[in-house]
Structure 1
């Protein structure tokens, strides 16, 4: 079995989901994610982009972005139960464990 390994991140110019094995970004629609989750990812990316342009100065907003990224990670895990899905915080520049 070829298990997918994915990383959720809010990197500029990304799609919100990286292929952890092959590298590069994956369109959420290509993964077969629900339209609601794909929309949620797109909205989160726009918020992340805005925070980036303001140099992540708003600590409360940064925490909210990471909470949403973790929630998205969990939803992807629900929709793709055979995939390994992790979360990378661009604010903190590190992986955050998602349980």
Structure 2
């Protein structure tokens, strides 16, 4: 079983190994092209909010909601993986049960 975390931290790919650390190349994951595109778009928006110090709470809420949906889709497309969503803005984790 793979343990993966979806996060918008830093300049990563958005998906990292939960315990080993290090970001995963999205092209190495067996996920749909649409999900890869959505992760990359979400990361871009998250980084913009990060550089604005997460001042706009409406934006933070929208990004976290989008991140949770993406993490759920990631969990659905990778059924043998345990997916966690991490909100850098709120410093919180959300687990998705199988």
TM-score, length-scaled by structure 1: 0.92
Query: 1: distance between equivalents of 2:10 and 2:19?
Result: 20
**CA positional deviation for 1:71:** 0.3
| Correspondence list, 1:74-89, <5 A | 74-89=72-87
Which residue matches 2:61? 63
Kept in 1, the 8 Å contact 2:83–2:95? The answer is no
Cα distance in 2 for residues equivalent to 1:72 and 1:63 = 14
Post-superposition offset of 1:97: 4.1
1:7 aligned partner: 5
TM-score (normalizing by structure 2)? 0.93
* Structure 2 runs not aligned, ≥5 long: none
TM-fit CA distance, 1:13? 1.0
Q: Which structure is higher in strand share?
A: 2
Secondary structure of the residue aligned to 2:19 is coil
Deviation at 1:21, TM superposition (A): 2.5
The answer to whether the Cα contact below 8 Å between 2:16 and 2:22 also exists between their aligned partners in 1 is yes
- 1:51 paired to 2:49: yes
Two-structure CA RMSD over aligned residues (Å):
1.1
Structure 1: which 5+ runs fail to align? none
Detail structure 1 runs of 4+ shifted over 2 Å in the superposition.
96-99
Q: Which residue of 2 aligns with 1:72?
A: 70
